Structure 1
Amino acid sequence: MVSVSAPAPKRRRAARGSGEQLREEILDAATDLLLETGHSKAVAIRAVAQRVGVTSPSIYLHFADKDALLDAVCARYFEQLDEEMQRVATEASSTIEVLRAQGLAYVRFARRTPELYRIATMGEGRPDSDVDMTLASSAFVHMRATIERLMDEGVYPRGDSTAAALELWTAAHGVAALLIAKPYLPWGDAEEFTDRVLRSICSGHIAIGFIGADLEPGAAIEKLAKLKELEEQPDE
């Protein structure tokens, strides 16, 4: 592992018009430091500058301060999640399988880079940060669009697609956060555990479409039991 304080070789002067390339190199260096240390406190502007091979003022030409740099790192991270959510949607065979794949992809993505996920979603937020907006576009919007298609198909009951998407997103984030923070708990196979939790949320919405959303839990159980009895009756 490269030491945070280790001097980097002096970077050649960038060619005219290559400011975007330098910005990406800065983001790469900050990301590497986050992954190596697992903590945002280790990502000092000076350390990033040393890693890239530039002076600290060169960093400030692209990012106003350390918070702005970390925001950009997290936003780029969620742009990669956005690509993953779109990819799995193209591989699913039905709309309900798209929703399942999106939830699994979200948790899988978080577990693949737990340090970044922890910093991006469980760190202190700032009112002017664009991280939440980027995360919302990468996960929430995709899930909501899929739920709206399920409502159009009659699989999900008509209702507030925003609330339904937030419920699924909350479950996915909760699973991801606990698998990352408490890996020693008896989860069993993480992928299977994730699938069971997310399927329970989806199945609950589908069941509500059949029995009604206003029933108390006891009445809902009775109605489901009657539906099961009818299904098990032999055909005459």
Structure 2
Amino acid sequence: MDDTTASATRRRPNARGRGDLLREDIVATATRMLDELADDQALSLRAVAREVKIAATSVYLHFPDRDSLVLAATQRCHEELVRLGDAADAAESNPGAGLRARILAQADWAESHPGLYKVLHESTVHRRLGMPFKEVMVQRTIDSVQRCMDAGIAPSDDATTVAIDLRTAVNGMLSQRINEPDLPWPPATEQLDRFLAKLVGIGRPG
């Protein structure tokens, strides 16, 4: 490749002081690649740099190693899941329907991004402790379950325990559907309604 070709394909630098834009480009590219790879160990900073059309050293200025970039990508995914769940919940008229919509939003995201869902739940990076952004989605579920109990839609119980049971069931269902697609799966909505009835104590909201 001659100098003219290299200049044509190289990413134009951001204006001075706008390195945050490059960081966002790097995270967005890594997130897309992780969805395709479905394995954080298969990602390399050099491969990300090639996709963004920058020198590998430019990636290292923002992320010292692969794990730090994977962590940033998983945080972005969690934040997106929280936004989608909040919007789905807010669009419903009662807390039971809101809880159901919140979880269906997560299920729809997992179906659209199976590779990322695997990284979120199977990568060694994501199993680390001390990541506050992971706690947000858990707390959202706890709060939704508590609202169902407060409204008399679900029997009174410890909302944290019920929410964790529910999340365990849902995450297991979604992971199994991704990892074992050939099983005779019933519709996800039917499984979710059984989880809500058995674990939370509510029927399908009208």
TM-score, normalised to structure 2's length?
0.85
Tell me which moved more, 190-199 or 68-77.
190-199
- Alignment correspondent of 2:11: 11
1-side partners of 2:51 and 2:85: how far apart?
31
* C-alpha distance after superposition, 1:147-196 (max 9, x if no partner): 22222223333332211111111111111111111111111323333333
Q: Mark the runs of 5 or more structure 2 residues left unpaired by the alignment.
A: 1-5
- Alignment correspondent of 1:27: 27
RMSD (CA atoms): 2.2
- Alignment correspondent of 1:194: 192
- Alignment correspondent of 1:123: 123
Larger-gyration structure (1/2): 1
Q: Secondary structure at 1:61's aligned position in 2?
A: helix
Give runs of aligned pairs for residues 75-94 of structure 1, distance below 5 A.
75-94=75-94
Corresponding position: 1:43 with 2:43: yes
Matched residues, number: 196
Change (3 A) 1:9 1:194: farther
Determine which structure has greater relative contact order: mean sequence separation of CA pairs < 8 Å that are 6+ residues apart, divided by chain length.
2
* C-alpha distance after superposition, 1:109-139 (max 9, x if no partner): 2121010010111111454663xx323312x
1-side partners of 2:52 and 2:130: how far apart?
24
Corresponding position: 1:71 with 2:67: no
- Alignment correspondent of 1:179: 177
Tell me which moved more, 15-24 or 119-128.
119-128
- Alignment correspondent of 2:156: 158
Aligned-partner residue type, residue 29 of structure 2: A
* C-alpha distance after superposition, 1:64-110 (max 9, x if no partner): 21000001011101111011111111111211111111222222221
Aligned-partner residue type, residue 65 of structure 1: D
Following superposition, the deviation at residue 53 of structure 1 comes to 1.4
1-side partners of 2:193 and 2:151: how far apart?
22
Aligned-partner residue type, residue 188 of structure 1: P
2-side partners of 1:159 and 1:188: how far apart?
29
| Percent identity of equivalent pairs | 34
Q: Say whether the 8 Å CA contact 1:179–1:190 is kept in structure 2.
A: no
* C-alpha distance after superposition, 1:9-34 (max 9, x if no partner): 21122201211110111012212222
Change (3 A) 1:24 1:36: same
Change (3 A) 1:165 1:190: closer
- Alignment correspondent of 2:143: 145
Aligned-partner residue type, residue 191 of structure 2: F
Any runs of at least 4 consecutive aligned residues in structure 1 with deviations exceeding 6 A, and if so which? none
